[in-house]
Copies of this chain bind each other. A is one copy, B any other.
Amino acid sequence: MKILVIEDEPALLESILAYFTGEGNICEHAADFASANEKISLYNYDCILLDLGLPGGEGLELLTKLKQLKKRDGVLIISARHSLDDKLAGLDLGADDYLVKPFHLSELKARVTAIIRRKNFDGNNVIVFNEITVDVSAMKVTVKGNLISLTKKEFDLLVYFLSNRNKVVTKNAMAEHLWGDEMDLSDDFDFIYTHVKNLRKKLLEAGAADYLRSVYGIGYKFGDI
């Protein structure tokens, strides 16, 4: 999953990033209002971790902005104890949850997972698409009931395709989702073809129908044939 961490305290930022990256997520971060504002305007995230005490601006404005932009990123407010009012205001402005500092990283993870599941998978952790099922929390994929083994990139790719089923997804969007801002989008990331190929092959070999179509010059469409 793709997560944006907006936090100005370096130590906390680092440990959050290390934790979520270690869990296999794509993480980006912003340490001040301006860069946070830019990130949320330009990109989409599965979940945004928002610390309200930001230098350079009022964190709550970011929530307003998200609403204006009609984005549907999940937002978890990380609040210092004294800013209870901000916290409640944040929920009013559309944040999905809040967490009071200090907290355990596992608690943070649990809440982030809950938000993502609610937003992306209607509260389920299993996506079903014809003969394909994907258990997001257990990282398990079955085709016609048989478990198949995917690498992380293949898995992420499949989840991304499935949460955008029947829609054309651009190569840029895929790259952005799977590699985050480490990826220079001016590069041509041919290696995405390799991952697509490998995923495709494993699905077909397991007996799935050929749901993945390439869209010349744009990207791919995964969905009903």
Known: A23-B172, A24-B217, A172-B23. A107 touches B137 (CB 8 A): no
The interface residues of chain B lying within 8 Å CB-to-CB of A181 are 104
| Pair A186/B24 contact, Cβ less than 8 Å | no
Known: A100-B38, A215-B139, A217-B152. A18 touches B168 (CB 8 A): no
| Pair A184/B139 contact, Cβ less than 8 Å | no
The distance in angstroms between the C-alpha atoms of A84 and B151, with both chains bound, is 45
| Pair A152/B218 contact, Cβ less than 8 Å | yes
The distance in angstroms between the C-alpha atoms of A106 and B104, with both chains bound, is 30
Task: Across the interface, name the chain B residue whose C-beta is closest to A139.
Answer: B168
The distance in angstroms between the C-alpha atoms of A137 and B215, with both chains bound, is 13
| Chain A to chain B contacts (Cβ below 8 Å), 30 pairs | A15-B185, A15-B186, A17-B186, A18-B186, A19-B172, A19-B185, A19-B186, A22-B170, A22-B171, A23-B170, A23-B172, A24-B170, A24-B217, A24-B218, A38-B100, A41-B100, A42-B99, A42-B100, A42-B107, A43-B104, A43-B107, A104-B181, A105-B185, A137-B167, A138-B167, A139-B168, A140-B168, A151-B216, A152-B217, A152-B218
Beyond A23-B172, A38-B100, 11 extra complex contacts between A and B, CB < 8 Å: A18-B185, A22-B170, A42-B99, A105-B176, A106-B172, A106-B173, A109-B172, A137-B167, A140-B168, A152-B217, A152-B218
